[in-house]
Amino acid sequence: MTTSTTETTPVIALPGRTAALLTGLGAAATAGSALMPWTWTSEYPGDLTFYGSPAGLQWLALTAGLVTLVLLLATQGVPGLRWAAPRRSSNAVLLAAAGAVAVGWFSVISIATDLGGLAHLEPGGWVLAAGSLLALAGSLGLPLDRRTAVPLRILDRRLFLLVPIAPVVWFATHAVPEDKPVAPVLTALAGGLAIATGGVLLVQLGHAANSWLRLGTVNRPLPAPRALPSWVEVALIVVAFAIGLFAITFGIDTEYGELFTGYLLLAASVVASLGRSGLLPRLRALTVKYQTVTTGAAFAAAASFPFTQTSDQYTSVATNILIFATVALGLNIVVGLAGLLDLGYVAFLGVGAYSAALVSGSPASPIHVQFPFWGAVLTGAVVSMVFGVVIGAPTLRLRGDYLAIVTLGFGEIFRITMLNLNGTTGPKITNGSNGIPRIPDLEILGWNLGKPTTIFGFELGRFSNYYLLMLLVTAVVVLVFARVGNSRIGRAWVAIREDETAAEAMGINGFRLKLLAFALGACLAGLAGTVQAHVSYTVTPDQYTFAEALPPNSAFLLAAVILGGMGTISGPLAGATLLFLIPKKLEFLADYQLLAFGIALIVLMRVRPEGLIPNRRRQLEFHEADADIPAQATGDTVALSKAGA
Amino acid sequence: MTTTDAPAPTPAPAPAPAETLLDVSGVTMRFGGLTAVNNVSLTVGRGEIIGLIGPNGAGKTTFFNCLTGLYVPTEGTVTYQGTVLPPKPHLVTQAGIARTFQNIRLFANMTVLENVQVGRHSRMHQGLLSAVLRGPGYRRSEQESRDRAMELLEFTGLAGKAEHLARNLPYGEQRKLEIARALASDPGLLLLDEPTAGMNPQETRAAEELVFAIRDRGVSVLVIEHDMRFIFNLCDRTAVLVQGQKIVEGDRETVQNDERVITAYLGAPLEGTAPVTETDQ
Ligand SMILES: Nc1ncnc2c1ncn2[C@@H]1O[C@H](COP(=O)(O)OP(=O)(O)O)[C@@H](O)[C@H]1O
Ligand SMILES: [Mg+2]
């Protein structure tokens, strides 16, 4: 099972059961600290001043502590909890403890900096900081899966020249009077150098930590789960989606940036640790077994979101997430399946939105018609598809980067054209930068989406209505993606992505299939655009740019696909949700948004190039499990003797 | 020359006046000033196994690329079953010629089964709409595609690895998968570009048997090889390409005894490369 290059040893050798004891104590302290006040004033958001009544960040600390504790007990084989860690890997505990430290220390530091000093911490805060650190230290003493040796990587020595240079420039900046023309240049230079130096030192520190920790993966086959009656398995899926709905709702409903940051830290560590513990892979196996139930549960969970909300504040966020995610999924057909780099995809959303706006009956539209919903949807989708074909037909014959350049150009041309069709620089169609305002609300079969509706005694506001409509569109796109992706056409797309020459040699008309992918992608984006026009009342050209601080734009769409995982359904949906929520919730990032975003992408591509939810994971895991069967290993010769038969 | 005294395991004699399947006439391929293939003509009859040998850079792969539409030949025509082939790879495959590549070109991130199913693309007709609607016709065709692919994996001995990713297969099996994938398009003629490159002798023997088995399925084979023993065991006829020109074509003896082959191709007496002892089982 264990290959020669991995071992299961503690990083810090501790006698006997001390490590487990320390970890447990630390985890319990972390969780327990949530029941104590962390600070004495209610100035810090969330009001963390009460005994026995957790709020905001305290809930996160409680969760982190409990998850660590449960995983610890599970890996120690405590009966009744073993389901939580079928792989018995202590690394899961370490990951959870690291999450506890991240959440705990983030909270403490954020309280101290927000309120101005450590004096503002109450005992709860100290317990939290100490407890989480204790858990982490303890978990380093657990038997961890590690590589036997990781040589220390040293960065290019020339990079370390930055360390003396950066302070010199810093002093120079301060020495030069501010009215000198070089002053702003020096300031910018000093800032850049500071960031670069920090980056170099951090990366080097990371390398050092890596060669000390030597964490790795030992191939631990997932033991077969206990046979359960199928209704229990189905119930487990339903429970999992209910928890998922709760977690996502919590994230969307976070009211201040600190809570959202803590939430992201916790979510990342919980997902990582449960993945390592084997619980998530097991759940995934269940979802594969009951695909219909899973899809149904996922949509039921998504559809019940508006019912958890009391105002339209967050349903509007959720609706926009859905629009963004749906378009990202459409882009995933083009990029993820067919491998075509489309840098102007948001323009197809725009084409759909503008088409729908023009036939919506808006008083600002030069076409004074009001199509029924179905007509508008069809118009948006078809016009968008026509544009897709028109753009694709001349460019898709070429290979390589031409498509990226042409689509980038098309995206900008679309926006500029919409700007210019304003009556002065062109025919009066789109009102230029004012866009087409006052788009009336949709009415479907007598149901006016602009008016609150009452379902099951819940009153749903305007955005809730649009959310449910948009969910329907998402379902259509998911269905199309799933079915086409797993068909003759989808296989041909993937083949083209993998190796176009070989695909052509297998009888695939590359041009035609690429055009088909392009047109289908455009059509689905147009479909989403028709709804978007009505959701946002107004369509303006600047909603459809290449790159901007806020989604949806082409760069973010592409990032959502790549971040989430190319070629999967859940990947872009997750990626889009994250990329929408992060700028929305972390407003303090606003000025550094694109910088942070770029750094995050670089880091992600470095550590997880396959995306958050990689494709074919299922198969790979499947093979991990049966790699131990000897018949497979020697299959080579067996197969050879069969060949001539 | 002592190569003929041991009774070599002569391949099953081809049906004497084989119906011509592929007729290549006067194909020339120039890259700028370089003439990679120079006025080469060749015919392949139904049920034949034809070999194509020549030193590295002789233009063998380029010749294959001309046949399969990857390159548009500067001059000459390729006729398959009486019709001139258009220089479009997918149309060539549709017409009934399938190929493998010298540097394996599998769809690395697809499963073994999917790779073979992609090979069936040109023999299926289900489009986008039927994929979304999933009617009975669609499901029948998917099932048929899967069954055919499994049968071919069975045939090449890869059935046990149907769900593995292609990139995780060992080298020899990747070659076999490429053959299975090519066979999935129900070709009348299979072009193999160095199918045993990088294989050990044992695997090469198995590949030989595989080629015979393919011929027994009614598929003619045109094979590029370096391994002389492999070629002479296998082929009804062998053509020798040197610097883009076909210098000789014929059966084993004709080729082995040809002075120009010995000097141009081997640069040394033939015994060195294809000694008697190698013709045993
Ligand atoms: N696309 C191309 N452009 C230019 N030269 C090429 C191209 N393809 C092949 N050649 C040249 O044609 C010659 C024959 O190559 P190739 O057919 O690969 O030889 P072989 O397969 O017999 O080893 C080589 O000199 C090669 O460099
Ligand atoms: Mg070659």
In terms of domains, do A457 and A531 share one?
Answer: yes
Tell me what pLDDT residue B255 has.
85
Ligand 1: does its nearest atom lie under 6 Å from the Cβ of B61?
yes
- Measured between CB atoms, does A505 come within 8 Å of chain B? yes
Residue A575 lies in a domain: no
- ipTM confidence score: 0.87
Residue A311 shares a structural domain with residue A336: yes
Is A619 in the B-facing interface, judged by CB distances under 8 Å? yes
Rounded Cα distance between A255 and A236, Å, is 31
Min Cα distance A555 → chain B (Å) is 26
Evaluate: CB of B58 within 6 angstroms of ligand 1.
Answer: yes
pLDDT over 60 at B272, yes or no: no
Given A491, A501, A623, which is nearest B117 (Cβ)?
A491
Residue B93, pLDDT score = 95
Minimum distance, in Å, between the CA of residue B30 and any CA atom of chain A: 20
Are residues A221 and A208 both part of a single domain? no
pLDDT tens for A363-418 read 888 888 889 889 999 999 999 999 999 989 988 887 767 888 888 999 999 999 99
Task: Based on the fold, state whether residues A130 and A185 are members of the same structural domain.
Answer: no
In this prediction, residue A634 carries a pLDDT of: 32
Q: Which residue of B99, B112, B132 to mutate against A (max A Cβ within 10 Å)? A: B132
- Flag if B212 and A502 touch (Cβ within 8 Å): no
- Buried b or exposed e, range A553-586, using 16+ CB within 10 angstroms: bbbbbbbbbbbbbbbbbebbbbbbbbbbbbbbbb
Q: Whose CA is nearest to atom 26 of ligand 1?
A: B57
Among A499, A502, A643, select the one facing B210 at the smallest CB separation. Answer: A643
A581 contacts A251 by C-beta, under 8 angstroms: yes
Two structure tokens written together for A119: 């004096």
Is any ligand 1 atom within 6 A of the Cβ of residue B60? yes
Cβ proximity of A432 and A421 under 8 Å:
yes
Q: For residue A615, give every residue at least 6 positions away whose Cβ sits within 8 Å of its Cβ, in sequence order, or none.
A: A336, A565, A566, A567, A568, A571, B109
SS (H, E, C) A331-393: HHHHHHHCCCCCCCCHHHHHHHHHHHHHCECCCCCCCCCECCHHHHHHHHHHHHHHHHHHHHH
Q: Are A319 and A383 in contact (CB under 8 A)?
A: no
Measured between beta carbons, the chain A residues lying within 8 angstroms of B160 are 631-632, 635, 638-639
Decide if A629 contacts A635 (C-beta within 8 A).
no
Residues A262 and A313 in one domain: no
Which residue, judged by its Cα, is nearest atom 16 of ligand 1?
Answer: B59
Q: If you measure from the C-alpha of residue B57 to the centroid of ligand 1, how many angstroms do you get, rounded to a whole number?
A: 6
Answer yes or no: is A56 within a domain.
Answer: yes
Quick check: is A258 in a domain? Answer: yes
**Contact status, residue B50 vs residue B222, Cβ threshold 8 Å:** yes
Atom of ligand 1 nearest to the CA of B65: 17
| Residues belonging to chain A | 645
Confidence of residue B271 (pLDDT cuts 50, 70, 90): very low
Residue B101 identity: F
Last residue of one domain, picked from the residues A194, A213, A232: A213
Q: How far is the CA of A290 from the centre of ligand 2 (A)?
A: 48
Could you tell me the CA-to-CA distances from B244 to A329, B28, B44, B108 in Å, in that order? 50, 8, 19, 32
Lateral strand order in the sheet of B20-31: B34-45, B20-31, B75-80, B83-84
pLDDT in tens, B126-177: 889 999 999 999 999 999 999 999 999 999 999 999 999 998 899 889 999 9
Distance from CA of A5 to the nearest CA of B (A): 20
Whether B59 is in the pocket of ligand 1, judged by its Cβ within 6 Å, is: yes
Structural domain includes residue A404: yes
Measuring CA to CA, which residue among A508, A488, A639 is closest to residue B117?
A: A488
Q: What is the pLDDT of residue A596?
A: 77
pLDDT band at B83, cuts 50/70/90? Answer: very high
Q: Which segments in chain A show pLDDT lower than 70?
A: 1-4, 400, 589-590, 615-645
Tell me the shortest Cα–Cα distance from B76 to chain A, in angstroms.
21
Q: Which of A138, A142, A132 is nearest to A32 (CA)?
A: A132
Which ligand 1 atom is nearest residue B60's CA? 22
Write out the two tokens for A530: 């028709």
CA dihedral A387, A389, A390, A394 (to 10 degrees): 150
Among residues A581, A482, A607, A594, which one has the least CA distance to residue A549? A594
A285, HSE (Cβ side, Cα atoms, 13 Å): 14
pLDDT digit string, tens, across residues A79-95? 888 889 988 899 999 99
Q: Which of B121, B122, B281 to mutate to test the interface with A (most CBs of A within 10 A)?
A: B121
Indicate whether A339 belongs to any domain: yes
DSSP A5-71: TEEEE-SS--STTHHHHHHHHHHHHHHHHTTS-SBSSTTSTT----SS---THHHHHHHHHHHHHHH
Q: Does the beta carbon of B54 sit less than 6 angstroms from any atom of ligand 1?
A: yes
Among A192, A213, A234, residue at a domain's last position: A213
* φ and ψ at residue B82, rounded to 5 degrees: 85, -10
How far apart are the CA of B252 and the centre of ligand 2, in A?
Answer: 21
Domain shared by A117 and A266, yes or no:
yes
Task: Name the domain boundary from A544, A575, A609.
Answer: A544
Number of domains in chain A: 3
**A399 and A281 within one domain:** no
Report phi then psi at A498, rounded to 5.
Answer: -70, -45
Q: Ligand 1 center to residue B73 CA distance, Å?
A: 13
Is residue A562 included in any domain, yes or no?
no
Sketch out chain B's domains with CATH numbers: 18-96+187-281 (3.40.50.300), 107-184 (no CATH)
Q: Is the CB of B56 under 6 A from ligand 1?
A: yes
- Whether A484 sits inside 8 A of B132 (CB atoms) is yes
> Among A344, A193, A318, which residue's Cα sits nearest to residue A249?
A318
Helix (H) or strand (E) holding A237: helix A230-253
CA of B65 to the centre of ligand 2 (A): 10
Answer whether residue A178 is part of any domain.
yes
Give residue A400's pLDDT. 66
pTM for the complete prediction?
0.84
Distance from C-alpha of A70 to C-alpha of A272, rounded to nearest angstrom: 15
B-interface mutation test, from A389, A488, A497, A634, most B Cβ less than 10 A away: A488
Residues 6+ apart with CB under 8 A from B264: B55, B242, B243, B247
Instruction: For residue B147, report the phi and psi dihedrals to the nearest 5 degrees.
Output: -65, -45
Q: Report the residue of chain B nearest A631, measured CA to CA.
A: B160
The answer to whether residues A322 and A205 belong to one domain is no
Residues A344 and A382 placed together within one structural domain of the fold: yes
Residue B23 CA to ligand 1 centre (angstroms): 22
Residue A570 within any structural domain of the chain: no
Residues A143 and A170 reside in one and the same domain: no
The pair of structure tokens assigned to A256 is 């201040």
**Is B94 close to A645, i.e. CB distance below 8 A?**
no
Separation CA B159–CA B137 (nearest Å): 26
Same domain, A197 and A226: no
| A394 and A354 inside one domain | yes
Give the residue from chain B lying closest to A501, CA to CA: B70
Q: Which pLDDT score is estimated for A622?
A: 39
Q: What is the pLDDT of residue A155?
A: 87
- pLDDT above 50: residue B51: yes
pLDDT confidence of B267, banded at 50, 70, 90? low
Q: Choose among A492, A494, A643: nearest Cβ to B157.
A: A643
Domain region containing A320: 306-544
